[in-house]
Amino acid sequence: MSQFVWEEKYDVGVRLFNEQHKQLLNILRDVYKAMEHKQDKAAIAEVINNLIKYAKEHLTQEEACLKENKYPDFENHKNYMKYLFQKLSNSMKI
């Protein structure tokens, strides 16, 4: 489960986003544990829904901050995050 552990190399230089990224890793760990312990579908669906909800909230805040600060690669970042979120949503369907 070491793939869900925060490492300093993930630091993006914005404390709020680092904290949100750490929380995303915690929720991913919850998803992994629920699946590893073969919890029922309702329990797994609940943690997956928590992950999707939190990811949406995070991405909304992150996009707003990047746009407000005129991040030079905003469109590419936005498109990549949209791609990752779609991939997450598709892969988490049970």
What integer best gives the mean pLDDT of the chain?
Answer: 88
Q: At what angle do helices 74-91 and 41-68 cross, to 10 degrees?
A: 180
Indicate the pTM of the whole model.
0.80
**Chain segment 24-69, per-residue pLDDT in tens:** 999 989 988 888 888 888 888 899 889 889 998 999 999 999 999 9
CATH topology of domain 13-91: Four Helix Bundle (Hemerythrin (Met), subunit A) (1.20.120)
d(CA 94, CA 85): 16
More confident residue, 33 or 91: 33
Q: CA 94 to CA 91: how far, in whole Å?
A: 8
Is a pLDDT exceeding 80 seen at residue 1? Answer: no
